[in-house]
C-alpha cells in the first residue's frame, strides 16, 4: 500500500502535525483540548488535526 505524503493528507495525527508544523506534541494537545478549537476532529478518543484549518490558524497566529 502506497503511503500518502503529509502535505496531501486532509487530517493529521498529533505526531504528523508536529512534524509538519514544528509545533510540539504537548502544545498541540493543549491547543486542541479547548472546546472552541476549530481544527480538531475527534474520532472516538483519537484526535486528528484538520490540516487546512490548522494552516490557516498558524498563518493568523502571532504566537502560540
State mean pLDDT over 43-62: 94
6-60, what's its fold?
Molybdopterin biosynthesis moea protein, domain 2 (3.90.105)
Mapped onto helix, strand or coil, the DSSP state of residue 32 is: helix
Q: Which three cell numbers stand for residue 61?
A: 497566529
Is the overall model pTM greater than 0.75, yes or no?
yes
Compute the distance between CA of residue 48 and CA of residue 30 in angstroms, rounded to an integer: 14
Residue 1 has pLDDT above 80, yes or no: no
Task: Give the model's pLDDT for residue 61.
Answer: 87
State mean pLDDT over 44-48: 94
Q: How many C-beta neighbours within 10 Å does residue 9 have? A: 15
State mean pLDDT over 4-25: 93
State mean pLDDT over 23-50: 94
Task: Give the model's pLDDT for residue 14.
Answer: 95
Amino acid at each position: 500500500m502506497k503511503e500518502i505524503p503529509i502535505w496531501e493528507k486532509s487530517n493529521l495525527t498529533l505526531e504528523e502535525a508536529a512534524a509538519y508544523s514544528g509545533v510540539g506534541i504537548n502544545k498541540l494537545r493543549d491547543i486542541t483540548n479547548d472546546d472552541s478549537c476549530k481544527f480538531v476532529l475527534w474520532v472516538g478518543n483519537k484526535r486528528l488535526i484538520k490540516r487546512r484549518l490548522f494552516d490557516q490558524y498558524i498563518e493568523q497566529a502571532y504566537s502560540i
